[in-house]
Structure 1
Amino acid sequence: MPELGTPPAVLRYAAFAATPGGGNPAGIVLQAGKLAAPAMQRIAAEVGYAETAFVTERDIAGDSRHLRLRFFSPGAEVPFCGHATIATAVALAERAGTGTFVFETLVGPVTIETSADGDGIVAAFTSVEPEVAPLAPEVEGELFSLLGLERGDLDPRYPLLAAFAGNWHPILVLRERAAFDCFTFDPGSMRTLMDAQGWRGTVSVLHATTPTDFAARNLFPVGTLTEDPATGSAAASLGGYLRATDSITVPGTVAVHHGEHVGRPSVLTVEIPRTGGIVVSGTAVPII
């Protein structure tokens, strides 16, 4: 039965913004307890951002800072979304004060710490336990073909693997900056491959400018989108990948620069502990 009454308010925030016009836009519905999944899907499609977050339950076990979230892209529900998590935490902290929040998600509970600094409110989430897995040879071949790349374009220091910290992301680190900047792909064909492999996150293509500084392009063809300006899920997966492949000394911190190729520069800070979840932090600002 369709929902009746006034449509819920949708907030719009840009997460991980490096400039006033940067960051990754997210929709946020703070009062979504009465919405069924089809209504949330419809709202996400109308908003048109990569993801919209819906707070479907508040005051879990009597704790006003313990909430349940669901995430929808314009095309489907997404198990976890990092930038919408950051944006929601900042929006809540603006209204309820900084401190710790716990979000129940489809991938499990996610803890978010919020604090105030000179740039506003900073939020940091700790991912679920990360994993890595190899890609089947035929999937690797199709991925290279879709990107117009060859195995020799990979940076030999970083193996091609899929990484998980809430969503699965294949991770390709390219040796040359020119190859990173210039590759192209057909969005429809990439979407078909991603759906067939169950990749609910992005295809994460990177270039290591230093061992602790990465440029990233996160391919996410859905609706009118082709590349995601910034994704906390991919950043967390990268952190897990770097630890699993012994590509960084832990504990360690890396910076990930997204969004340059889609005109929305973004910066994410990724803290990689010796064990456990990966910590991703950044700011979020209202979109006026």
Structure 2
Amino acid sequence: MIETAFALKSDKADLRIRYFTPGHEMNLCGHATMATIYALKTKGLLEDKSKLTIETEAGILTIEIKEQKAGRIYITMQHATPQFEAFNGSRSKLAQSIGLTEEAIHPELPIVYGSTGIWTLLIPIKNLSYFDKMTPQSVDFPAILEEMPKASLHPFCLEAIDRNVDMHARHFSSPYSGTIEDITTGTASGVMGAYFANYIDREAQLPKTLTVEQGQELGKDGRVHVHVKKDAGKLNISITGTAVHLREIQVHI
């Protein structure tokens, strides 16, 4: 997915960020946040701040910046409080919409809408072998997602290409966004951490960090580190990642 992020002044936080796909505005975007903070930091526009707050449509969230000795910058981004809603649609039609049959869906884990800032449908898949076979039919998504027609689809499994990684995923965009597939998805990776604590291992000792891989089917190798902890009995989710500078363009308005 390609988002455009705009960094603005805020009277509620250190800065405000607005996010747009080609099709609509989004409440929150993980990788666009990482890229924005990285760009501002490397341009010297954040001075020496290592902690700051950002105002988003998903709420005011905390950002922490750490610079390693090698000069690499890692950014930790808090997510909104996790929410889940039941999916009551056809499992068969859902599987077909990503080029699979219902047999590919994990029989013991629930399909649910999840959000830590933006809603996506979390689809547990039996194993890694199905991911190369996926072919999203985005135009069919809204009719299948009766409860949330504008949600994206996020199939994942507990098997990964890298043995040091906890989960593997792909992310198929809502047709209203004007894009098809996301290489690496920060917000959906964050809600996967909450899903893990809610539905996969309720007895997991927290705090816990999970690593999610994504993008391999598109020739990329994305990694998101998802931190899951509890504050006052509620799940608190944050993610850590970094960014790279590709190029600059000037836009004249």
TM-score, structure 2 length as denominator? Answer: 0.82
Query: What's the counterpart of residue 9 of structure 2?
Result: 57
Q: RMSD value over aligned CA atoms?
A: 2.5
Give how far 1:259 is off. Answer: 0.8
Question: Is 2:140 aligned against 1:189?
Answer: yes
Give how far 1:182 is off. Answer: 1.0
Cα distance change, pair 188–196 in 1 and its aligned pair in 2 (3 A):
farther
Higher RCO, Cα 8 Å, sep 6+: 1
SS of 1:158 mapped into structure 2: coil
Cα distance change, pair 66–77 in 1 and its aligned pair in 2 (3 A):
same
Give how far 1:204 is off. Answer: 0.6
**Counterparts of residues 213-252 of structure 1 (less than 5 Å):** 213-220=166-173, 225-247=179-201, 249=204, 250-252=206-208
Q: Distance in 2 between matches of 1:262 and 1:78?
A: 23
Question: Is 2:236 aligned against 1:277?
Answer: yes
Contact 1:107/1:166 (CA < 8 Å) preserved in 2? yes
Cα distance change, pair 234–119 in 1 and its aligned pair in 2 (3 A):
farther
Paired residue total: 234
Q: Distance in 1 between matches of 2:178 and 2:112?
A: 27
Query: What's the counterpart of residue 203 of structure 1?
Result: 153
Query: What's the counterpart of residue 59 of structure 2?
Result: 108
Contact 1:180/1:207 (CA < 8 Å) preserved in 2? no
Give how far 1:84 is off. Answer: 0.6
Cα distance change, pair 115–208 in 1 and its aligned pair in 2 (3 A):
same
Contact 1:167/1:199 (CA < 8 Å) preserved in 2? no
Cα distance change, pair 192–228 in 1 and its aligned pair in 2 (3 A):
farther
Contact 1:67/1:104 (CA < 8 Å) preserved in 2? yes
Q: Distance in 1 between matches of 2:84 and 2:224?
A: 21
Query: What's the counterpart of residue 80 of structure 2?
Result: 128
Deviations 1:70-99 (A, max 9, x none): 110011001110111111111222212340
Alignment-mate amino acid for residue 227 of structure 1 = E
Alignment-mate amino acid for residue 8 of structure 2 = T
Identity of aligned residues (%): 25
Q: Distance in 2 between matches of 1:263 and 1:212?
A: 17
Cα distance change, pair 124–199 in 1 and its aligned pair in 2 (3 A):
farther
